[in-house]
């Protein structure tokens, strides 16, 4: 049984990351409670066997051996349903089996492999009223490997999620915010729930040459941004609103998710880049991880650059914990460089903080306006 939070703190992301080899690249994100057959051990890593000739590795600290037969299940029906802004595909399993999900966008296609599952599928129940799911097909490419192919309408869903309901596996695809449907005569921000995350604390983040702490600058910008967004009708959620609230990375994403966030923006300022001269390579940048977040990153960068008047440091794909959240478009803004004396000095001024906040707000607005209703 896999679990990354045996103490039950609720302060992790609630899933175990399985990799292609010990300490190698990411392969599967398995919700806590997943059962898998174990194989070899190598140092701090445990191999779990998936299908014939397929395996993955999980940290030993997150894998708890139990005696019993190899986990397996049959499946007789696949259902879809619509729930509170999500279209979902439900796989009724007898045991919480490991799975792998692969996403292709434009048009949106999802392939899901479930290991240890034997198809005895009579039918796939889909609702013709479903606005997002166009088709669901299943197959059994290998002994004990079940494959599901899901086609969605449109280029990409607003977000997606894979979770367990008991032993059942649920794959959810999010509809655009309901508030966006009615945006002809008002700001597209109106009624959209936006989570603003002032980066760092209890850690200081980067510290500038004259001692400005990144967490301070981030908070000032975030509070300004929250005001602007609220004035334009958005429902704003701040992960922290005071200098003394201390949060871990997953506290931030869990809060974003639990509060029904529809857009997530983490506010940061940059430190020293690795291996390059910061006095040559610096400026404004926006990071994203999932492809559905890239348009948001591009829109914010486009609106932010003219306001910071700094160099274009680019829009980057980066594997950052808060950005791995896939339920909503999530980006991380690096407005300026703490380490450059002139930029640190600017970051201290309410005028520059306001400019950054205006730029991010305009970027979110632009992203929402450009999305198909
Ligand atoms: Zn930072």
Domains and CATH numbers, the chain: 1-70 (2.30.30.40), 73-175 (2.60.40.3500), 179-370 (3.40.630.40)
Q: What is the pLDDT of residue 275?
A: 63
Q: What is the average pLDDT across 203-210?
A: 93
How many angstroms separate the CA atoms of 202 and 213, rounded?
11
Indicate the range of 29-38, 130-139, 182-191, 307-316 predicted with least confidence. Answer: 182-191
Q: How far is the CA of 6 from the centre of ligand 1 (A)?
A: 29
- Ligand 1: centre distance to CA 162 (Å): 28
DSSP 356-370: HHHHHHHHHHHHHHH
Q: Which residues, in sequence order, are bridge partners of residue 117?
A: 73
Mean pLDDT of 325-345: 94
Residue 171 has what pLDDT?
A: 96
| Average of per-residue pLDDT across 87-96 | 95
Q: Which of 253, 250, 234, 366 is nearest to 299 (CA)?
A: 366
pLDDT mean over 83-97: 94
Share of the chain above pLDDT 70, in %: 96
Out of 21-30, 34-43, 46-55, 325-334, least confident range: 21-30
CB neighbours (10 Å) of residue 176? 20
Strand, helix or coil for residue 222: helix
Residue 90 scores a pLDDT above 90: yes
**Cβ distance 150 to 112 under 8 Å?**
yes
* Residue 308 clears pLDDT 80, i.e. is over it: yes
Q: How far is the CA of 271 from the centre of ligand 1 (A)?
A: 7
CA of 333 to the centre of ligand 1 (A): 9
Distance 369 CA to ligand 1 centre (A): 28
In this structure, what token pair is assigned to residue 60?
Answer: 């030993």
Instruction: Give the pLDDT band (50/70/90) at residue 288.
Output: very high
For ligand 1, the distance from its centroid to the CA atom of residue 253, given in whole angstroms, is 15
Kindly give the pairing relationship between strand 117-125 and strand 73-83: parallel
Task: Report the separation in Å between the CA atom of 349 and the middle of ligand 1, taken as the mean of its atom positions.
Answer: 19
Could you tell me the distance, in angstroms and rounded to a whole number, from the CA of residue 207 to the centre of ligand 1?
A: 10
Q: How far is the CA of 200 from the centre of ligand 1 (A)?
A: 6
- Tell me the percentage of the chain whose pLDDT exceeds 90: 69
Residue the block writes with tokens 């032993």: 167
CA of 71 to the centre of ligand 1 (A): 42
Distance 172 CA to ligand 1 centre (A): 31
Q: How far apart are the first and last CA of the chain?
A: 42
Per-residue model confidence (pLDDT) at position 180: 87
Pairing of strands 193-198, 168-174: unpaired
The CA 25 to ligand 1 mean position distance, Å, reads: 24
For position 53, what pLDDT does the model report? 82
* Ligand 1 mean position, distance from CA 264 (Å): 15
Work out the pLDDT band at 25, boundaries 50, 70, 90: low
- pLDDT at residue number 182: 77
Distance 288 CA to ligand 1 centre (A): 14
Mean pLDDT within 204-222:
96
Residue written as tokens 């929402």?
Answer: 368
The alpha carbon of 199 and the centre of ligand 1 are apart by a number of angstroms equal to: 6
CA of 50 to the centre of ligand 1 (A): 37
CA of 364 to the centre of ligand 1 (A): 20
Distance 13 CA to ligand 1 centre (A): 20
Ligand 1 centre to CA of 252 (Å) is: 14
Residue 210 Cα to ligand 1 middle (Å): 17
Residue 276 has pLDDT above 70, yes or no: no
pLDDT in tens, 155-173: 889 999 999 999 999 999 9
Q: Is 157:292 a contact under the CB 8 Å cutoff?
A: yes
Q: Which residue stretches of 245-349 are H helix?
A: 249-258, 294-308, 341-347
CA-wise closest residue to 150 among 172, 163, 161, 135: 135
Q: How many Å lie between the centroid of ligand 1 and the Cα of residue 205?
A: 5
Q: Are 143 and 52 in contact (CB under 8 A)?
A: yes
Give the pLDDT band (50/70/90) at residue 7. Answer: confident
Rounded to an integer, what distance in angstroms lies between the CA atom of residue 263 and that of residue 257? Answer: 10
Mean of the per-residue pLDDT values for the chain?
Answer: 91
Ligand 1 centroid vs 332 CA: distance in angstroms?
9
Question: Which tokens belong to 300?
Answer: 């914010």
Q: Residue 276 C-alpha to ligand 1 middle, in angstroms?
A: 18
Name every residue whose Cβ is closer than 8 Å to that of residue 7 and which is 6 or more positions away in sequence: none
Rounded distance from Cα 270 to ligand 1 centre (Å) = 6
* Ligand 1 center to 129 CA (angstroms): 44
Residue 338 · residue 317 · CB < 8 Å = no
- Nearest-5° angle of CA 175, CA 263, CA 221? 170
Q: Please say if the pLDDT value at position 296 is more than 80.
A: yes
- Distance in Å, CA 189 to ligand 1 centroid: 26
Whether residue 373 has pLDDT greater than 60 = no
Two tokens at 38? 């174990």
What pLDDT score does 150 carry?
95
Distance 213 CA to ligand 1 centre (A): 10
Could you count the other beta carbons within 10 Å of the beta carbon of residue 198?
A: 30
Over range 77-95, report the average pLDDT.
94
């Amino acid at each position: 049984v896999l679990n990354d939070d045996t103490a039950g703190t609720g302060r992790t992301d609630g899933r175990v990351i399985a990799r292609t080899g010990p300490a190698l690249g990411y392969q599967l994100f398995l919700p806590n409670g997943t059962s898998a057959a174990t194989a070899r051990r190598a140092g701090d890593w445990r191999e779990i066997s998936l299908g014939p000739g397929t395996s993955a590795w999980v940290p030993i600290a997150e894998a708890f051996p139990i005696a019993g037969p190899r986990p397996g299940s049959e499946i007789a029906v696949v259902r879809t349903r619509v729930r509170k802004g999500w279209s979902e595909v439900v796989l009724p399993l007898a045991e919480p089996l490991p799975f792998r999900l692969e996403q292709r966008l434009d048009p949106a296609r999802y392939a899901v492999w479930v290991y240890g599952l034997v198809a005895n599928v009579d039918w796939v129940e889909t609702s013709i009223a479903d606005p997002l799911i166009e088709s669901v097909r299943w197959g059994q490419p290998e002994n004990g490997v079940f494959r599901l192919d899901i086609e969605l309408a449109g280029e990409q869903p607003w977000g997606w999620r894979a979770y367990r309901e008991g032993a059942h596996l649920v794959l959810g695809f999010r509809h655009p915010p309901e508030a966006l449907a009615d945006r002809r005569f008002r700001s597209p921000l109106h009624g959209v729930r936006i989570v603003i995350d002032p980066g760092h604390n209890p850690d200081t983040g980067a510290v500038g040459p004259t001692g400005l702490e990144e967490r301070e600058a981030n908070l000032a910008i975030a509070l300004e941004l929250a005001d602007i967004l609220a004035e334009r009708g958005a429902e704003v959620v701040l992960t922290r609103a005071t200098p003394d609230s201390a949060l871990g990375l997953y506290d931030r994403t869990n809060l974003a998710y639990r509060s029904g966030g529809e857009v997530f923006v983490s506010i940061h300022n940059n430190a020293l880049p690795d291996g390059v001269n910061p006095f040559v390579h610096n400026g404004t940048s926006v990071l994203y991880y999932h492809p559905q977040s890239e348009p948001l990153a591009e829109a914010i960068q486009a609106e932010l650059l003219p306001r910071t008047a700094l160099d274009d440091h680019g829009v980057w794909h980066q594997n950052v914990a808060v950005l791995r959240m896939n339920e909503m478009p999530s980006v991380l803004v690096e407005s300026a460089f703490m380490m450059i004396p002139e930029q640190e000095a600017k970051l201290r001024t309410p005028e520059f903080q306001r400019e950054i906040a205006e730029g991010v707000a305009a970027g979110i607005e632009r992203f929402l306006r450009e999305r198909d209703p």
